[in-house]
Amino acid sequence: MHALVIHAPHDLRIEETPTPEIGPQQLLVRVRSGGICGSDLHYFLHGGFGTVRIREPMILGHEVSGVVQEAGSGVDDILPGTRIAISPSRPCGSCQYCQQGLQNHCLDMRYYGSAMRTPHVQGAFRQQIVIDRSQAHEVSSSLSDGEAAMAEPLSVGLHAARRAGALLGRRVLVTGCGPIGALIVAAARRAGAATIVGTDVGELALSSALQMGADEVINVAENPDGLSRFTANKGSFDVLFEASGNERALRGALDAVRPRGVIVQVGLGGEMTLPVNMFVAKEFDFRGAFRFHEEFAVAVELLNKGLIDVKPLISATFPYTEATNAFELAADRSRAMKVLVSFE
Amino acid sequence: MHALVIHAPHDLRIEETPTPEIGPQQLLVRVRSGGICGSDLHYFLHGGFGTVRIREPMILGHEVSGVVQEAGSGVDDILPGTRIAISPSRPCGSCQYCQQGLQNHCLDMRYYGSAMRTPHVQGAFRQQIVIDRSQAHEVSSSLSDGEAAMAEPLSVGLHAARRAGALLGRRVLVTGCGPIGALIVAAARRAGAATIVGTDVGELALSSALQMGADEVINVAENPDGLSRFTANKGSFDVLFEASGNERALRGALDAVRPRGVIVQVGLGGEMTLPVNMFVAKEFDFRGAFRFHEEFAVAVELLNKGLIDVKPLISATFPYTEATNAFELAADRSRAMKVLVSFE
Amino acid sequence: MHALVIHAPHDLRIEETPTPEIGPQQLLVRVRSGGICGSDLHYFLHGGFGTVRIREPMILGHEVSGVVQEAGSGVDDILPGTRIAISPSRPCGSCQYCQQGLQNHCLDMRYYGSAMRTPHVQGAFRQQIVIDRSQAHEVSSSLSDGEAAMAEPLSVGLHAARRAGALLGRRVLVTGCGPIGALIVAAARRAGAATIVGTDVGELALSSALQMGADEVINVAENPDGLSRFTANKGSFDVLFEASGNERALRGALDAVRPRGVIVQVGLGGEMTLPVNMFVAKEFDFRGAFRFHEEFAVAVELLNKGLIDVKPLISATFPYTEATNAFELAADRSRAMKVLVSFE
Amino acid sequence: MHALVIHAPHDLRIEETPTPEIGPQQLLVRVRSGGICGSDLHYFLHGGFGTVRIREPMILGHEVSGVVQEAGSGVDDILPGTRIAISPSRPCGSCQYCQQGLQNHCLDMRYYGSAMRTPHVQGAFRQQIVIDRSQAHEVSSSLSDGEAAMAEPLSVGLHAARRAGALLGRRVLVTGCGPIGALIVAAARRAGAATIVGTDVGELALSSALQMGADEVINVAENPDGLSRFTANKGSFDVLFEASGNERALRGALDAVRPRGVIVQVGLGGEMTLPVNMFVAKEFDFRGAFRFHEEFAVAVELLNKGLIDVKPLISATFPYTEATNAFELAADRSRAMKVLVSFE
């Protein structure tokens, strides 16, 4: 069985790996499709991000779908042959945060393909994987394997949307329309936003945001003052989703957010210098959004019912034997939104 | 100029009425379409409801659309010829509730076509009406006059949906799928509900609920036990919208609502005997929803953008000269959801 | 070792019971004081309530304090001799509600002294008991054993207060000032309520409410119209805690609750006939409050710091050998608020 | 009649000013006591802050109490001789934010003694002032004039506390224990916080925080690592009130705040460089708190009832003829918390 193992920046290898043993309440899954995420790219391009670095070989990947090959003992509600999306969120269930329903803050989280802890948690870009029954979510026959793999990033978008509270009828701004920003556009539209404006500096991201439901997009590289018409009366957006991780994007949007507006920060960008006096005087509500937990089931249900369509975001699919090409395309924001790897 | 004036039960007359004077910040509007609401029907059939009774002749109607005929002094942002939906919500703006943003609880509300206060507030089923500029909401050319008139009941549905908090990914039950219940189905779907089940005792209501977005409907007259498969593990619905005003409908749904579930009561039904111990032990959150205020603008925006489609609910349109026939059809739930009156 | 075992109404026996085995992460506790709760009284007087009936002999009691006698293996953070209050809340930790932080809705709760399931969960009115380490909360030397035993009913009051949301500056009405109502008065005062009015039909309850912090009390038996001066402008209370379980108490208070007011129902009272139209038109938010979970630690901390004083509610203390007398006094609301049993 | 007029930094003059005309629904008030606020100090020391500069002579002051001297026409519910605290918050009542209950974000606010707009809004450090009836809040005879003047900064503290949501049982950290920070300690204690820790770099501030109810204080100048014992398990405080406006104070506290913790930023401090990735990963909820509106009435009620005691914060009182001395003492944080000016 093959797996995609990162050893060092740009050193991604296809390696033979033993099929893991299946236990009770588990499933052996034949992986079919995997999406390349920003964190996978960071490992591939730079060997990590911030203090998180590859310290040993690690299988990448956490956005995957597949087919159940075998069900372990005690599993009687899912059959071999069932097509599934796999949730990579594996909280411990017993720490104080799990017991408060905040599984994404678990003190002992084992998220696939993460070098946050050592030994690293091996990922899911592999031909076979053993998972817990609770990680498997059946997908509709109307979905392709690639769409099913996108349940994971959609979960991130849904979680961000939920962090904003009710969006029905709200005016929403999304800064940064890469894959996550574009999925937030879709989630906000699905959640009933009345107006959605997206900004970015790239044309592919902006056109993708329109396809995912934005009413209007602004290229803030070409039109740096594009948000100024939303600044009257202290600002007109009820909610800002900041998905670029870029300080300028956040600062540039603040005048367009109304007093008591909610700003959901999704993009990771390290240190930012912010005009805190404006946060005080306009009483912004600036909230972080990180990963997801129960939103995975929601993502699959919305995809299964066709209530959100992620097809416009799929830029290309490569066989896993051409994984390096896939990662290189994924790294080019002018040509790719989501790049998929097929493990068949 | 003609108006539809109720004098007594079943005594609805077409009467010549003077065109009112237009003042500053006001508009003279040529009314085009009006929807018959449950309260209009109560005046027509019974002369009122509860302690609210017709004590003098009253023009009915509060769900109307029209065309701006003339703009008063100080109005420079809307032109004659503009097609509009008219909000019937006219709070005072200065009482304690208005100053808290709770305009639907205004101490001096003047809602169109209401006998709650005497002299009654005259309604909008008339060929011409003078309104405040702030009541006018421009509608898209893609909407018919009748769809525009439905902004008002849709506002009620949106307000009810908002009372439930964020619905993205939630499992929703709607009991009572008359016009308001069906619009709540649409609002909940628009707000991102993952699952929507509707119940009613009439086939037209149930098929309408499906058209408005329900995943599944149950005829609880034919299948009184139809909700029993949702009762495992203390109940599976996160939110119940009770839109029938019927005690049995509410009681019959409680086992299917999960602990901490939200129950939004929209239907008016007078006294109900309720198992309060279950409300305590399951810690339900039972919330009233009454009218709307800022949701009117939201309703028009969602209709204008095609994000909610109310056409499936329009059962028939009558010229105002046949208003009595219109009211009689509207009273027959087996044949009509929303009946419109044309004032052209 | 002795325990208080209920066999049938008014048949409460002192029985010799074996000391249970202590296991890992557990404590053997010498029980010192126990408070008689309403549910204990129901078992004693009537053999149960509603469908919950004694079907086998059951040790009563769930409001207890004691001293650690022995610590099981793996317990290294509490020493023998430590005085503790014992939380009777024992959720499973793994069901869907526990994993959402809603432990009071656990699908497999084993609450002390409850006949809700058969075999019944034996209670804590006994000289020795083995508990999980996590149930033990150290109490300050400034607290008597009896005050420590009151951490449990105080937890109920704190949970009810939390169900109302933030109370700082709010106007609060409490209907029913028995032990739980009086503790809600204390919790609401502690939580910053600006105005607290209590109602009851008994003088002892009313004077206790004043001692626990109410600004004013009204005997609604003598003065049925006593709340009428709070009904102007649609009502003046932001929050109503209904702790009587009495339909008339709830109905009589509704006119005094403002639109969008929160009504927390704590009292159990079976079926109630309610004016649901008023709940709709005033958009009340009617919320059940049931037991508690994390509030137990809060109760102990507030008691330890003297931030809430429960001494005024302790009416009498009996040795367990006179338990029947204790129960009979506890049943007389004109003479007793909280009656304690000493197990020393 | 005399007023305290600032002309330039350190140029504070006592000037003869005409008594204003009283109108309908207004009161003529003899001012008795005024507290010197941080913004008054900025005008006195630096001529303003940020872009807000004195561009014309301005009467300072917005924390004042007095006695009603004369009631205008239409005022029948307050008598001459009544002692009052005066709310300096004067929103327009009709803009979009006032109509949403967000009066502190009014588009046309006229806050006393503010150079934010030109002509400046003249302040209340004067012997007589005409106010709207709605600004007057009667104070109890148990309060001194100075305590009554402190209703205003207490309102700021209460508003900050409310921005945090319910505090009952919460663990609270306050960074910066100057007058506002110390009043937040009092507000949080009143609102039911279970644990309150304060930090500052000055001993007077820290001892004041203890007097206002903190459980523990830490001098982070002497003990920069003093919060490290609160960082286990991702942090232990539920709520952080940042009242210093100091970037280091905020950054130094983040490790001690739990995931999903609420951070209320009250202190103004201009640009801050923040570790935004931590805000994302721990999903902080960072909320600005600015001024107040309805909290003024709450402040007076809590003071009147003795539920909050501000006396420990009053460092000194000067006759207005010695105002410059008063301002100089107020500027010395090692010697003064709140300095009052008497206008009698």
Q: Which residues from chain A sit within 8 angstroms of residue B162, using beta carbons? A: 166, 168-169
Q: What pLDDT does D23 receive?
A: 96
Residue A344's pLDDT band, with cuts at 50, 70 and 90, is confident
d(CA C232, CA C230): 6
Question: Which range is least confidently modeled, A37-51, B63-77, C295-309?
Answer: A37-51
Q: By the CB < 8 Å criterion, does C25 face chain A? A: no
Q: Are D287 and D262 in contact (CB under 8 A)?
A: yes
Residue A298 has pLDDT above 90, yes or no: yes
Give the SS3 label for residue B246.
coil
CA distances from C165 to A316, C158, D166 (A): 49, 11, 6
Residue A82 has pLDDT above 90, yes or no: yes
User: CB distance B168–A167 less than 8 Å?
Assistant: yes
Residue A191 has pLDDT above 90, yes or no: yes
The average pLDDT across A192-217 equals 98
Q: What are the strands, taking DSSP E only, across C36-82?
A: 48-49, 52-53, 58-59, 63-71
User: CB distance B280–C268 less than 8 Å?
Assistant: yes
Give the SS3 label for residue B274.
strand
d(CA A32, CA C185): 60
The full DSSP string for D277-311 is: HHHHHTT-EEEE----STHHHHHHHHHHTTSS--G
The pLDDT tens digits for D116-164 are: 999 999 999 999 999 999 999 999 999 999 999 999 999 999 999 999 9
Residue B298 has pLDDT above 90, yes or no: yes
The pLDDT tens digits for C161-176 are: 999 999 999 999 999 9
C3-35 burial code (b ≥16 CB/10 A, e <16): bbbbeeeeebeeeebeeeebeeebbbbbbbbbb
Q: What pLDDT does B75 receive?
A: 97
Residue A264's pLDDT band, with cuts at 50, 70 and 90, is very high
The pLDDT tens digits for A2-37 are: 999 999 999 999 999 999 999 999 999 999 999 999
Q: Which residues from chain A sit within 8 angstroms of residue C106, using beta carbons? A: none
CA angle C161, C167, C172 (to 5 degrees): 80
Q: What pLDDT does B104 receive?
A: 98
User: What 8-state DSSP symbol labels residue B235?
Assistant: -
DSSP count for chain D of H helices, then E strands: 9, 19
Taking CA–CA distances from B170, the nearest residue in chain A reads A298
The average pLDDT across B139-144 equals 98
Residue D105 tokens read as: 């974000």
Q: Are A260 and D102 in contact (CB under 8 A)?
A: yes
Residue C49's pLDDT band, with cuts at 50, 70 and 90, is confident
Give the SS3 label for residue D141.
coil
Give the SS3 label for residue B118.
coil
The full DSSP string for C212-224 is: TT-SEEEETTT-T
The pLDDT tens digits for C271-289 are: 999 999 999 999 999 999 9
Q: Which amino acid is at B228?
A: S
Cis check for the bond before C119: say yes or no (omega within 30 of 0).
yes
Q: Is D50 exposed, middle or buried (0-12, 13-18, 19+ CB in 10 A)?
A: exposed
Q: What pLDDT does A269 receive?
A: 84
Q: What pLDDT does B344 receive?
A: 87
Q: What are the strands, taking DSSP E only, across A250-337?
A: 257-265, 271-275, 285-288, 314-319
Residue C204 has pLDDT above 90, yes or no: yes
User: CB distance A99–C101 less than 8 Å?
Assistant: yes
A 10 A CB-CB count for D228 gives 12
Q: By the CB < 8 Å criterion, does D81 face chain B? A: no
Q: Is C131 exposed, middle or buried (0-12, 13-18, 19+ CB in 10 A)?
A: buried
Residue A257 tokens read as: 């957010």
User: CB distance B102–D101 less than 8 Å?
Assistant: yes
User: CB distance B101–D103 less than 8 Å?
Assistant: no
User: CB distance A284–D285 less than 8 Å?
Assistant: no
In this structure, the strands spanning C237-242 and C257-265 are parallel
Q: Rounded to a whole number, what is the distance in Å from the CA of A270 to chain D's nearest CA?
A: 5
Number of C–D residue contacts, CB under 8 Å: 75
Phi and psi (nearest 5°) for A191?
Answer: -85, 5
Q: What pLDDT does B269 receive?
A: 84
Q: What is the Cβ-side half-sphere exposure of residue B120, based on CA atoms within 13 angstroms?
A: 22
**Whose CA is closest to A279, among D270, B253, D174?**
D270
Angular region, A47: left φ>0, alpha ψ -120 to 50, beta rest = left
Q: Are B299 and B158 in contact (CB under 8 A)?
A: yes
User: CB distance D273–A268 less than 8 Å?
Assistant: no
C65, C71, C75, C80: CA torsion to nearest 10: 70
Q: What pLDDT does A80 receive?
A: 97
| Residue A162: partners with Cβ closer than 8 Å, 6 or more residues away | A295, B166, B168, B169
Tell me the residues of chain C between 231 and 270 that have a Cβ less than 8 Å away from chain D.
Answer: none
Q: What pLDDT does D50 receive?
A: 83
The pLDDT tens digits for C102-136 are: 999 999 999 999 999 999 999 999 999 999 999 99
CA distances from A92 to A104, A123, A155, B140 (A): 10, 17, 19, 52
Q: What pLDDT does B268 receive?
A: 92
Taking CA–CA distances from D160, the nearest residue in chain C reads C168
Q: What pLDDT does D49 receive?
A: 87
Q: Out of A162, A168, A295, whose CB is closest to B162?
A: A168
d(CA B143, CA D279): 45
d(CA A16, CA A32): 17
User: CB distance C192–D195 less than 8 Å?
Assistant: no
A 10 A CB-CB count for B23 gives 11
Q: What percent of chain D has pLDDT over 90?
A: 98
The average pLDDT across D308-336 equals 97
In this structure, the strands spanning B195-200 and B216-219 are parallel
The pLDDT tens digits for D61-112 are: 999 999 999 999 999 999 999 999 999 999 999 999 999 999 999 999 999 9
Q: What percent of chain A has pLDDT over 90?
A: 98
Residue C194 has pLDDT above 90, yes or no: yes
A 10 A CB-CB count for A221 gives 12
**ipTM greater than cut 0.85:** yes
Q: Which amino acid is at B191?
A: A
Q: Rounded to a whole number, what is the distance in Å from the CA of B13 to chain C's nearest CA?
A: 30
Residue D344's pLDDT band, with cuts at 50, 70 and 90, is confident
**Whose CA is closest to C111, among C303, C243, C292, C265?**
C292
Q: Which residue has the higher pLDDT, A234 or C270?
A: A234
Q: What pLDDT does C298 receive?
A: 98
Q: Which residues from chain A sit within 8 angstroms of residue C93, using beta carbons? A: 94, 99
Q: By the CB < 8 Å criterion, does B302 face chain A? A: yes
Residue B286's pLDDT band, with cuts at 50, 70 and 90, is very high
The pLDDT tens digits for C134-149 are: 999 999 999 999 999 9
Give the SS3 label for residue B197.
strand
d(CA D223, CA D243): 19
Tokens 């023009």, located at residue: B59
Q: What pLDDT does B51 receive?
A: 85
Taking CA–CA distances from B96, the nearest residue in chain C reads C233
Tell me the residues of chain B between 88 and 127 that have a Cβ less than 8 Å away from chain D.
Answer: 93-94, 98-103
Q: Which residues from chain B sit within 8 angstroms of residue D93, using beta carbons? A: 94, 99
Q: What pLDDT does B288 receive?
A: 98
User: CB distance A271–D274 less than 8 Å?
Assistant: yes
Q: What pLDDT does C51 receive?
A: 85
